[in-house]
Structure 1
Amino acid sequence: MVPTDGLSNPRTQVSPLRSALASQAKLWPEIRVELGGLESGWITAEAFFASDTMIEEYLDYEGSFSEGTDRKACGSLMMTDYAYVFALATVPAFLGFGILPDLSPSRFALLFHVTQDEHDGHMREVRRAHVRYLSGGFRASRTDHTAHPDARGPMAHDQIADAFCTAVQAHFEPLIEQLHARTKLSRNAFWRLVADALAGWFIEAGRRLDCQEAAKASAMAVLKRPGSPLNNRQLHYFDLSVRDRAGQPFSYTFRGRGGCCRFYTVEGGEYCSTCVLKDPRQRDDDLRQAMRRHLGLAGDEIA
């Protein structure tokens, strides 16, 4: 029998998934996303989600940076960090290449590490992970990709968006059940954080791949499926504009969050720039000021 897992098969035809991940690595080198086997140091998402020790250690880690961080905040911060990794690993290949890998927790491996990250102007230590797909199988929307024996498709855009939504739900459900039981934060709150992470990476990938409008449409197709726990009315995109030194309009697209990471509840914490709890008018004023600073303008130089 000829193997078709895309890993041990000595075929000369390059997997479109492998090619997509190689292209993705050039734009997002901070998190490695690759095909391979389960080597020492790596753990499947399935094993991670089922490990009481690892989940508790992760929650304790999230609570170690600020006094008074309660369990709900620990859980939401943990989900925010993990969903960031997942979204970066999955969204660029989906948006840029129409490729959806096997996201089953048993075939999604992680290599955890700690690094520094900027969050709303503040540097903080965060837990990240490199990702390894243990299966070479993938779904594809492009006809030229479906010639590869590991591919399923071609799928229409709505079909592959639905498949992505379903795969996200299946991946995160066991983790959400774990965190809900341990922190008592609602399941809905966790689902909103997952949706926020994916929406954020759709628009970021759209910027880097020069397809922002397609990115917004794809994000909504994935995240606004009727009946999905990812679907909430608060999550959206919005545009703001200011004028630069030459008087020309400068516009930027933001993600309006549907969830809250609860960073505001810790000592020294505050609302994130696009927090769902902020008054939209204050949020927009703050963001316009940030845009002016980005352009090198003082707050009072432009009305």
Structure 2
Amino acid sequence: MDLAEQADFGDKPSFPSGDDLSEALAWQAERFPDVALSQRTSFSRFENADQAWDPEGAFVEVLMGYQTQFAAGMDDRVRGAHLMAFYSHHLSIAVGALFLKTGRVIDLDPSTLAVRFEPLGEKTLQNRPADARRLHFCFSDFASGSDPLAAFHDGFVAGLRPVVNTIASRSGLSPTALWRLAADGLTGAFLDVGIALCDEKRAMGLARSLVRKSGSPLSFDVHFEYVETNIEGILSGRFFRLRSGCCLFYRTKDGRFCDVCVLLDERTRKDRLRAHLEGAGGR
């Protein structure tokens, strides 16, 4: 059992009393500028998610094509897997940041959640390709109910159903494989937000509760691992989310396995994560 498995996440999830919404949105925009979140004031320039994810729609075609900027030699299955990881992670960053900061659960019903794929702003473009883009989610309201975790889980699953259905039909990947990638996207995003909040244990605990719900399409074994390394005499470490599903990136022309790949043996994975830590100065 890894250190993350032994960590005390608490018997019950805890939620903050609630930051101001505008402050939380500003925090998310500053810390995670690769994805945008806003509250809807009009319907202009956005598509509702259920319409955007029409299998024959332009939105899907643009997103499938955009994945090829990450690697050469992607076929439809690789593009589909990468798109599922890309979309679920960015959606989870956007709504997870607000959830972990304020305890509020955004209504992710695809008939009311809106989305667009937009160019990155000039400030965000630093060291990025000039044609880099991001997902921008726009919500209308918050979910109701007395159980925030249940509301988040049910909304997240509902919001991703048209995504899973469309990518499955376009790529040939099974819905089970795509839901596994969605669970990875959710748990990885919660860890990223938790690290930014200096509260990663609570974030990991909530993420685990979300994906371990009985009967959920997200119900897969998800693991976090704490990795340490010595940098100039100082012991540094951090948690990593390990993949439970494969994004198929190893099948691209570059042929690399990602550092948290489910296909790596434990020793190789730990060596690569330590090297990552050392290259990032322990962060």
With normalisation by structure 1, the TM-score equals: 0.77
- Counterpart residue type for residue 131 of structure 1: F
Gap regions ≥5 residues in structure 2: 1-18, 122-126
Question: Which of 244, 269, 272 lines up with 1:258 in the alignment?
Answer: 244
Distance in structure 1 (CA, Å) of the matches to 2:269 and 2:96: 26
Question: Which of 176, 188, 191 lines up with 2:179 in the alignment?
Answer: 191
Q: Answer yes or no: is the 8 Å Cα contact 1:73–1:261 preserved in 2.
A: yes
SS at match of 2:236: strand
Residue 244 in structure 1 maps to residue 244 in structure 2: no
Find the counterpart in structure 2 of residue 12 from structure 1.
none
Residue 93 in structure 1 maps to residue 98 in structure 2: yes
Distance in structure 2 (CA, Å) of the matches to 1:63 and 1:29: 21
Distance in structure 1 (CA, Å) of the matches to 2:256 and 2:91: 25
Residue 104 in structure 1 maps to residue 92 in structure 2: no
Any idea what the Cα deviations from partners look like across 1:151-199, whole Å, max 9, x if unmatched?
x45x3xxx32122111111111111111112211111111111111111
Alignment of 1:59-208 (within 5 A): 59-63=64-68, 66-115=71-120, 127-133=133-139, 135-136=140-141, 138-139=142-143, 152=144, 155=146, 159-208=147-196
Find the counterpart in structure 2 of residue 295 from structure 1.
281
Distance in structure 2 (CA, Å) of the matches to 1:89 and 1:130: 9
Q: Give the superposed CA RMSD.
A: 2.6
Distance in structure 1 (CA, Å) of the matches to 2:171 and 2:251: 15
SS at match of 1:185: coil
Distance in structure 1 (CA, Å) of the matches to 2:185 and 2:42: 26
- How far off its partner does 1:39 sit? 4.0
- Counterpart residue type for residue 92 of structure 1: A
- How far off its partner does 1:66 sit? 4.9
- How far off its partner does 1:80 sit? 1.9
Q: Which has the higher strand share?
A: 1
Distance in structure 2 (CA, Å) of the matches to 1:194 and 1:65: 19
Question: Which of 193, 210, 213 lines up with 1:222 in the alignment?
Answer: 210
SS at match of 2:182: helix
Q: Answer yes or no: is the 8 Å Cα contact 2:55–2:166 preserved in 1.
A: no
- Counterpart residue type for residue 28 of structure 2: Q
Gap regions ≥5 residues in structure 1: 1-14, 117-121, 140-151, 297-303
Distance in structure 2 (CA, Å) of the matches to 1:126 and 1:277: 29
Residue 44 in structure 1 maps to residue 30 in structure 2: no
- Counterpart residue type for residue 286 of structure 1: R
Distance in structure 2 (CA, Å) of the matches to 1:272 and 1:192: 16
Q: Answer yes or no: is the 8 Å Cα contact 2:34–2:120 preserved in 1.
A: no
* Structure 1 stretches of 4+ moved >6 Å: 122-125
Any idea what the Cα deviations from partners look like across 1:108-152, whole Å, max 9, x if unmatched?
111212459xxxxx977754211111x23x24xxxxxxxxxxxx4
Aligned residues: 258
- Determine which structure has greater relative contact order: mean sequence separation of CA pairs < 8 Å that are 6+ residues apart, divided by chain length: 2
Find the counterpart in structure 1 of residue 198 from structure 2.
210
Larger Rg computed on CA atoms:
1
Change (3 A) 1:105 1:16: farther
- How far off its partner does 1:20 sit? 3.2
Q: Answer yes or no: is the 8 Å Cα contact 1:66–1:267 preserved in 2.
A: yes
With normalisation by structure 2, the TM-score equals: 0.82
Distance in structure 1 (CA, Å) of the matches to 2:62 and 2:31: 31
Any idea what the Cα deviations from partners look like across 1:228-287, whole Å, max 9, x if unmatched?
111112x211101122322x4211100011112111111113111101111121000111
SS at match of 1:88: helix
Change (3 A) 1:112 1:295: closer
